[in-house]
Amino acid sequence: MITTGGLGPTEDDITRKVAARALGRRLFLDESVLEEIRKRFLSFGLTMPERNSRQAMVIDGAKVLDNPNGTAPGLFIEHDGTAIALLPGPPREMRPMFENHVQPRLESKAGHLRVVRRVLRVAGMGESAVDERIAPIYTRYSNPQTTILFNRSEIEIQLTARGRTEAEAETLLDKVSAELESELGHSIFAFRGEQMEEIVGLRLSVGRYTIAVAESCTGGLIAERLTDVAGSSRYFIEGVVAYSNESKTRTIGVEPVLLLEHGAVSAPVAEAMAEGIRKRARTDFGLAVTGIAGPGGGSEEKPVGLVYIALASEVQTEHRKLMLPGDRQLIRWRASQAALDLLRRRLI
Task: Identify residues 303-342 at the interface with its own copies (CB under 8 A).
Answer: 323, 325-330, 332
Q: Which CB atom, from 127 or from 168, has the smaller least distance to its own copies?
A: 127
* 45 binding its own copies? (CB under 8 A): yes
* 343 binding its own copies? (CB under 8 A): no
* 230 binding its own copies? (CB under 8 A): yes
**Residue whose C-alpha is closest to residue 240's, from 216, 217, 267:** 216
- In the complex, the smallest distance separating the C-beta of residue 235 from its own copies, rounded to whole angstroms, is 9
- In the complex, the smallest distance separating the C-beta of residue 251 from its own copies, rounded to whole angstroms, is 6
Measured CA to CA in angstroms, residue 257 lies from 115, 263, 268, 307, 339 at distances of: 60, 9, 11, 20, 25
- Per-residue contact string for residues 245-274; x = within reach of its own copies by CB under 8 A: -xx--xx-----------------------
Question: DSSP of 87-103, one letter per residue?
Answer: E-SSHHHHHHHIIIIIH
Q: Which CB atom, from 205 or from 227, has the smaller least distance to its own copies?
A: 227
Q: Which CB atom, from 77 or from 173, has the smaller least distance to its own copies?
A: 173
Q: Determine how many CB atoms are found less than 10 A away from the CB of residue 269.
A: 27
Q: Nearest 10 degrees: CA dihedral of 246, 278, 236, 244?
A: 10
The residue from 231, 256, 299, 321 that contacts its own copies (CB under 8 A) is 231
Handedness of CA 161, 167, 170, 172 (dihedral sign): negative
Residues 101-130 touching its own copies, rule: CB under 8 A, are 126-129
User: By the 8 A CB rule, do 240 and 211 touch?
Assistant: no
- In the complex, the smallest distance separating the C-beta of residue 165 from its own copies, rounded to whole angstroms, is 27
- In the complex, the smallest distance separating the C-beta of residue 79 from its own copies, rounded to whole angstroms, is 29
**Residue whose C-alpha is closest to residue 189's, from 145, 232, 155, 225:** 155
Q: Nearest 10 degrees: CA dihedral of 172, 174, 175, 181?
A: 140
Q: Specify the stretch interacting with its own copies by CB under 8 A; choose among 73-81, 113-121, 135-143, 268-276.
A: 135-143
Q: Specify the stretch interacting with its own copies by CB under 8 A; choose among 163-171, 172-180, 181-189, 232-240.
A: 232-240
- In the complex, the smallest distance separating the C-beta of residue 286 from its own copies, rounded to whole angstroms, is 13
Instruction: Enumerate the H helices of 45-161 as residue ranges.
Output: 91-97, 103-107, 127-138
Measured CA to CA in angstroms, residue 151 lies from 56, 231, 263 at distances of: 40, 26, 32
Residues 143-202 touching its own copies, rule: CB under 8 A, are 146-148, 150
* 68 binding its own copies? (CB under 8 A): no
- In the complex, the smallest distance separating the C-beta of residue 209 from its own copies, rounded to whole angstroms, is 15
Q: Is 157 helix (H, G, I), strand (E, B) or coil?
A: strand
Local structure of residue 180 (DSSP, 8 states): H
- In the complex, the smallest distance separating the C-beta of residue 53 from its own copies, rounded to whole angstroms, is 10
User: By the 8 A CB rule, do 170 and 161 touch?
Assistant: yes
The residue from 10, 103, 165, 299 that contacts its own copies (CB under 8 A) is 10
User: By the 8 A CB rule, do 319 and 267 touch?
Assistant: yes
Q: Specify the stretch interacting with its own copies by CB under 8 A; choose among 43-51, 76-84, 168-176, 184-192.
A: 43-51
* 208 binding its own copies? (CB under 8 A): no
User: By the 8 A CB rule, do 86 and 78 touch?
Assistant: no
